[in-house]
Amino acid sequence: MTPAWMQDAPVQRLLAALAGGGVAARFVGGCVRDWQLGRPIGDIDLAVDTPPETVMTVLEKAGLKVVPTGLKHGTVTAIANHRPFELTTLRRDVETDGRRAVVAFTDDWRVDAARRDFTFNALYAEADGTIHDYFDGLSDLQAGRVRFIGDPDQRIAEDRLRVLRFFRFHAWYGRPPFDGPSLEACRRNAGALRGLSGERVRKELLRTLEAPAGADAADALFDTGVLDHWLPEYAGSARLRALRTREATAGVEPDGLRRLAAILPAGGDATRIGKRLKLSTQESVRLAVLLSETPPLGLAGGPPAWRAALYRQGRNFFVDRVLLAPEAAGDWRGALALAQAWTPPELPVSGADALALGLRPGPAVGQLLEAVEAWWIDGDFAAGRDACLAELARRAAAGEKPA
């Protein structure tokens, strides 16, 4: 039985073009894995038995656009009906230095499977739905077992990024306990991860934290020593666990940076962490904001304090901070519900109203408006335009100095 995604027009067009040119192709990796689990599939990758130049010629003849994304590694991207597909020629890793592989092409599917990382990432599917499973990936997938293909130490020596991939895939697909030999190999090799690039670590780490079982993975990353170098600030997973519950309760999408903040100490040095993990300036600033404890959130203050914070801090920031607040800080459920239900009003008076009272333009007008605004917030936004105008006039007449 073939699934619906294989019937999609762009997929069928691609398959027809390949078959027409005598290229044998199988779906591989994430799409087969996720399909077998009944999860929505992401990108579609295919393995092909023909060298990349030939694949390009065949597809172009059939009228498809092809981009030579990684010819040396056998990868081309085909675009059918505006949809991209990655096609990689069957290959064997000839030589690896722990980061980059020199590859040779092959026509042996099993050899191609053997160079992949985990058993359930080496599942192939033919166009008729036939599955090829060379390393018991299907049973591992059903059991939630993330297992290296072959000797874990050797596979990690070939590419140490696989340690991080192990924890990421466990967080998304695994069930406790961790596969013993795989986990111990990760522990033995944790020190070697120092040499990875910050970008790659950040990508893996954030995707791991976004996963349903991200908290267990974070603890394991810490326990095996992976975080010693990359995140020595690790503050445990308790807040991350709470965060997950709150996100689910409030229907808020998981967010990698927010989840990162949840495993860091409040007030942590976002700039340093951002440098290490190659966060963008914008992301570092957001992380700093997530870790900061000022201005106070006032979660214990109930709806009036929440409305004030929502007005002053904006919904996104408010929600982030409520999601991350300590359990004892107050009624996070109520605060999140309020954030959804209530839209901050606009201050009912403006500079024009102040000028209409005869005030001269200048900084004093701004200060006066700020004072009225603070009064209006203190009154829980109850004052309408008339009351605000009256307050503005009263304060203008009193020549009040700003608070």
What, of Mg ion, ligand ATP, none, does residue 304 touch, CB below 5 to 8 Å by kind? none
* Contact yes or no for 52/79 (Cβ under 8 A): no
**Spatial contact of 392 and 372, defined as CB atoms under 8 Å apart:** yes
Beta bridge partners of 250: none
Alpha-carbon gap, residue 323 to 334, rounded angstroms: 12
C-alpha to C-alpha distance for 298 and 332, rounded to whole angstroms: 11
Stretch that binds Mg ion, among 35-43, 51-59, 119-127, 151-159 (CB under 5 A): 35-43
Binding region for Mg ion (CB under 5 A) out of 25-33, 88-96, 253-261, 378-386: 25-33
Q: What are phi and psi of 2, to 5 degrees?
A: -100, 140
Q: How far is the CB of 42 from ligand ATP (least distance, A)?
A: 5
CB of 113 to ligand ATP, least distance (A): 8
CA 24 to centroid of chain Cα atoms: 34
* Minimum gap (Å) between residue 122 Cβ and ligand ATP: 6
* Beta carbon of residue 54, minimum distance to ligand ATP (angstroms, whole number): 21
C-alpha triplet 151, 152, 153: angle, nearest 5°: 95
The partner in contact with residue 116, picked from ligand ATP, Mg ion, none with C-beta cut-offs of 5 to 8 angstroms by kind, is ligand ATP
Dist. CA 172–CA 144, nearest whole Å: 9
388: helix, coil or strand? helix
Q: Which is nearer to Mg ion, 30 or 198 (CB)?
A: 30
Q: Does 30 engage in binding with Mg ion (CB under 5 A)?
A: yes
- CB 163 to ligand ATP: min, Å: 10
Is residue 106 a contact partner of residue 92, using CB atoms and an 8 Å limit? yes
DSSP letters along 324-384, please?
A: HS-GGG--HHHHHHHHHH--PPPPS--HHHHHHTTPPSSHHHHHHHHHHHHHHHHTTT---
Q: Collapse the DSSP code of 172 into the 3-class scheme (helix H, G, I; strand E, B; otherwise coil) and give the result.
A: helix
Name the residue nearer to ligand ATP (CB basis): 29 or 52. Answer: 29
Cα separations in angstroms, 301 against 100, 162, 341: 55, 47, 18
Query: Least CB distance from residue 192 to ligand ATP, whole Å?
Result: 14
Q: Which one of ligand ATP, Mg ion, none is in contact with 159 (Cβ closer than 5 to 8 A by kind)?
A: ligand ATP
219: Cβ contacts below 8 Å, ≥ 6 apart: 236, 237
Q: Which residue is nearest to ligand ATP (CB)?
A: 30
Residue in the shown chain whose Cβ atom is closest to Mg ion? 30
Residue 88 or 284 having the CB closest to ligand ATP: 88
123-125 vs 25-28, strand pairing mode: antiparallel
Binding interface with ligand ATP (CB under 6 A): 29-30, 42-43, 45, 116-117, 121-122, 159, 161-162, 165
* Site string (36-75) toward Mg ion, x via CB under 5 A: -------x--------------------------------
Closer residue to Mg ion, CB minimum distance, 207 or 321: 207
- Phi, psi of 298, deg, nearest 5: 70, 35
Q: How far is the CB of 272 from ligand ATP (least distance, A)?
A: 28
Contact partner at residue 117 from Mg ion, ligand ATP, none, CB < 5 to 8 Å by partner kind: ligand ATP
Q: Which is nearer to ligand ATP, 49 or 159 (CB)?
A: 159
Q: Which is nearer to ligand ATP, 172 or 222 (CB)?
A: 172
- Minimum distance of Mg ion from residue 185's CB (angstroms): 23
Closer of 141 and 243 to ligand ATP (Cβ) = 141
Nearer to ligand ATP, 29 or 268 (CB): 29
Q: How far is the CB of 201 from ligand ATP (least distance, A)?
A: 13
CB nearer Mg ion, residue 30 or residue 303? 30
Residue 212's region, left for phi above 0, alpha for psi from -120 to 50, else beta, is alpha
**Other residues' Cβ atoms within 10 Å of the Cβ of residue 6:** 20
Which residues of the shown chain bind Mg ion in the complex (CB under 5 A)? 30, 43
